[in-house]
Amino acid sequence: GESVGLHLPTLSVQEGDNSIINCAYSNSASDYFIWYKQESGKGPQFIIDIRSNMDKRQGQRVTVLLNKTVKHLSLQIAATQPGDSAVYFCAEKGANNDMRFGAGTRLTVKP
């Protein structure tokens, strides 16, 4: 079946560096994507979203890039901080408003 998934399960970066987390999706009809952050013991927290009519969207220290040609989504975090350490999920909104999550990438920020 169609699914949303992630390239890398773990990512370790130095504090202050930029982080890039990648995600591949297979449903070419998907038109809305969200990145969530999940800290230990907490529920997913919205970070940023993007619709398929855009290829880039910026937030505070975060940028999401969408490449529909290769069905690839990425999350860039600028000047990564220890508080950014978490699991990051990309998610695709399904036809009935359910969120279909990828497997997650664990980001670890080293001081």
Partner 1 sequence: EPEVTQTPSHQVTQMGQEVILRCVPISNHLYFYWYRQILGQKVEFLVSFYNNEISEKSEIFDDQFSVERPDGSNFTLKIRSTKLEDSAMYFCASSEMGQGQQYFGPGTRLTVT
Q: Which residues bind partner 1 (CB under 8 A)?
A: 32, 34, 36, 41-46, 49, 89, 91, 93-94, 96-104
Report the residue number, 65 or 94, with the smaller CB distance to partner 1.
Answer: 94
Report the residue number, 69 or 96, with the smaller CB distance to partner 1.
Answer: 96
Report the residue number, 14 or 23, with the smaller CB distance to partner 1.
Answer: 23
Quote the least distance from Cβ 37 to partner 1, whole Å. Answer: 11
Q: Would you state the structure tokens that stand for residue 74, as one six-digit string?
A: 């990425």
At 17, is the secondary structure helix, strand, or coil? coil
How are beta strands 10-14 and 105-110 bridged, if at all?
parallel
Q: Is 96 left (phi over 0), alpha (psi -120 to 50) or beta?
A: alpha
Quote the least distance from Cβ 15 to partner 1, whole Å. Answer: 27
Cα torsion 74, 76, 77, 80: sign: positive
Quote the least distance from Cβ 16 to partner 1, whole Å. Answer: 29
